Amino acid sequence: MIPFRTDFRPGVSLYEQIVYAAKKAIISGQLRPGDAFPSVRVLSRELKINPNTAHKVVTHLITAGLLETHPGIGTVVSSLPEPRAAERAQLLGHDVEQLVVESKKLGIGLEEILTSVSSHWKRLEARVSRKPSREGRGDP
């Protein structure tokens, strides 16, 4: 199983999309230091991509210092310094651009978008704060 989500989009190379998804999972904390990262074979099979592409992805992430290999263990997520706010915000670059472009197409102004985003943000925060904690119940 792949521990990050990929939604393949036309016009962007599979390699770039997979690297982006993996970086996002690592920087956001979805994948934590020491977590196992899928092998080239697993990436290739699960994502239905060429093994050479999967190898290129893993090599890129190792070179970038996001992954490290341990003999007898495999490839794991590296210990990283706490990501800066700019790095986390950069992960949303494509999504923000898409929101702006679609808003302009629909004739929606900046203030309307900011109001809408703020409203959605508050609604999601309210949902999260209402969820009961799993601690103390034996759930993972």
Domain boundaries, the chain: 14-77, 92-130
* CATH code for the part of the protein at 14-77: 1.10.10.10
The pTM score is 0.62
Along the 140 residues of the chain, how does pLDDT read in single tens digits? 788 888 888 888 999 999 989 988 887 788 999 999 999 999 999 999 999 999 999 999 999 889 999 999 999 999 876 666 677 677 777 778 888 888 998 999 999 999 998 998 888 777 766 655 444 444 44
Q: How many residues does the chain have?
A: 140
21: left (phi over 0), alpha (psi -120 to 50) or beta: alpha
List b or e across 32-61, with b for residues whose CB sees 16 or more CB atoms inside 10 angstroms.
eeeeebbebeebbeebebeeebbebbbebb
